[in-house]
Amino acid sequence: MPSYSELMAVVGFRSKNAAYKLVKRMMAEEWVEKDATGKLLPGRAFYDLPILGTVTAGFPSPAEEELADTMSLDEFLITNKPTVCLSFTPYCLM
C-alpha cells in the first residue's frame, strides 16, 4: 500500500493532511487498515466482491435458439390497418 506522500502524488493532493483524511475515511469503510507499525494494509472490504449472479457452465447457445415468440409493432402502433399506406420519397421535405 502507498505511503501518505505516495498517496498525495497519485490522488493529486497538495498536503499530507488531505491524504490523512482520505485514509481515515477509507479506514472507517474498512478499505484499509494499519498494522502495528502504522503501515497501510488492505482491509476487509478491499477483498470483498459483490455477487451479481450465477453463470451456467457449458457451451453458449445462440440467441436464435432462445427465441420463444415474436411480435409485430404493427399490432400496437396501427389501429386501422386498411387506411394505412407506406410511401418512400427520395428527398427530405422537412
Tens-digit pLDDT profile for residues 77-89: 777 766 766 655 5
Residue 18: its H or E element: helix 16-28
Instruction: State phi, psi for 17 to the nearest 5 degrees.
Output: -65, -40
Distance CA 17, CA 23 (A): 10
Q: Which three cell numbers stand for residue 41?
A: 494494509
Give DSSP secondary structure letters for 34-81: E-TT--EEE-HHHH----------S----GGGG------THHHH-S-G
Give the tens place of pLDDT for each residue, 8-63: 998 899 999 999 999 999 999 888 899 888 888 888 887 766 666 666 677 766 65
Q: What is the pLDDT of residue 18?
A: 92
